[in-house]
Amino acid sequence: MPAQVSVIGIGGVPEVQPGNDLAALVTEAATRQRTPLASGDVLVVSQKVVSKAEGRVVDLKSVTPSPFALEVARTWQKDPRHVEVVLREARRIVRMDQGIIITETHHGFRCANSGVDASNVPGEETVTLLPVHPDASAEAIRRGVRQLAAVDVAVIVSDTFGRPWREGAVNVAIGVAGLEPLVDYRGRLDTCGKRLQTTVIAVADELAAAAELVTGKLEKVPAALVRGYTFRPSPGGVGPLLREPSRDLFR
């Protein structure tokens, strides 16, 4: 039989507060819905709940915008406090046009608004920031699940990024623990006996994207387990997914 993979949303997680134990919340929710985590699963957890648990939440009333943020906000009719938070989270501005700010974050991600987001956050003037160290966040959840449930899972922290040249956004991995994020086929023979030269598959991103099919944006399902995918165990880390500037033809 060809390989089969199941993707199961984990619901019933209460509104996450700073300091909450995400590993416990997700493990308990999975058990309550009779889909307990098992060794070999890949657990995909949304960035939003990770950021909430880690206190990466900003009340815009506490933000004083810089002169540059005020200028950008006037040009594009934006909240200058939101712009200020975006600029603080950026290593550099990649592009500003049509009211969109594309930045490179301190992690090395290139995305809209430095990942600063107001959706699915209680309060009219509250935004979340990306985790400071998403790989460490993923590893902490992985370690917590192992201690609580005595199972060994891989963990991906996912977020939704837009894509150049394609409409629509997809979930990608911003933090990885326990699996190799890339599968390198270079040097292997294809089904016609030809040696592959350039094929490297971003499996961590594919797993994150698959999880979004069951977590969605409106369903209050902050995590998913992917079962049946045979991954290569590894300490993980999102670094291999980030293209080096010297190899980035569109930088």
- Between helix 134-149 and helix 22-32 the angle, nearest 10°, is 50
Q: Return the amino acid letter for 162.
A: G
Instruction: Clarify whether residues 186 and 152 are in a common domain.
Output: yes
pLDDT of 219 over the 90 cut = no
Answer whether residue 215 is part of any domain.
yes
Q: Give the confidence band of 249 by pLDDT, cuts at 50, 70, 90.
A: confident
Return the closest-CA partner of residue 12 out of 215, 209, 156.
Answer: 215
pLDDT of 177 over the 80 cut = yes
What is the dihedral sign for C-alpha 140, 229, 111, 60?
negative
Compute φ and ψ for 174, nearest 5 degrees: -110, -10
Whether the full predicted model's pTM is greater than 0.85, yes or no, is: yes
Q: Give the confidence band of 178 by pLDDT, cuts at 50, 70, 90.
A: very high
Q: Give the confidence band of 206 by pLDDT, cuts at 50, 70, 90.
A: very high
pLDDT of 250 over the 80 cut = no
Residues 118-166: pLDDT tens digits?
A: 988 888 899 999 999 999 999 999 999 999 999 999 999 999 999 888 9
CA–CA dist 110, 194 (Å, integer): 34
Q: What is the pLDDT of residue 122?
A: 87
| Average pLDDT of the chain to the nearest whole number | 95
What is the dihedral sign for C-alpha 244, 163, 214, 117?
positive
CA–CA dist 62, 65 (Å, integer): 10
CA–CA dist 178, 183 (Å, integer): 14
pLDDT of 251 over the 80 cut = no
Instruction: Clarify whether residues 141 and 21 are in a common domain.
Output: yes
Instruction: Clarify whether residues 175 and 195 are in a common domain.
Output: yes
Answer whether residue 40 is part of any domain.
yes
Please identify, among 89, 120, 151, the residue that sits at the C-terminal boundary of a domain.
120
Please report, rounded to a whole number, the percentage of residues in the chain having pLDDT higher than 70.
100
Longest dimension (CA), the chain: 62
Q: What is the pLDDT of residue 123?
A: 85
Cα→Cα distances 211→105, 135, 247, Å = 24, 18, 29
Residues 61-96: pLDDT tens digits?
A: 999 999 999 999 999 999 999 999 999 999 999 999
CATH number at residue 115: 3.90.1660.10
Q: What is the pLDDT of residue 245?
A: 84
Answer whether residue 250 is part of any domain.
no
pLDDT of 209 over the 90 cut = yes
Rounded to 5°, the CA angle 159-163-165 comes to: 170
Non-local (6+) Cβ contacts of 239 within 8 A are 135
Non-local (6+) Cβ contacts of 67 within 8 A are none
Answer whether residue 105 is part of any domain.
yes
Answer whether residue 32 is part of any domain.
yes
Answer whether residue 67 is part of any domain.
yes
Domain that holds residue 36: 6-56+131-242
Instruction: Clarify whether residues 37 and 101 are in a common domain.
Output: no
Instruction: Clarify whether residues 72 and 89 are in a common domain.
Output: yes
Instruction: Clarify whether residues 52 and 161 are in a common domain.
Output: yes
Instruction: Clarify whether residues 46 and 77 are in a common domain.
Output: no
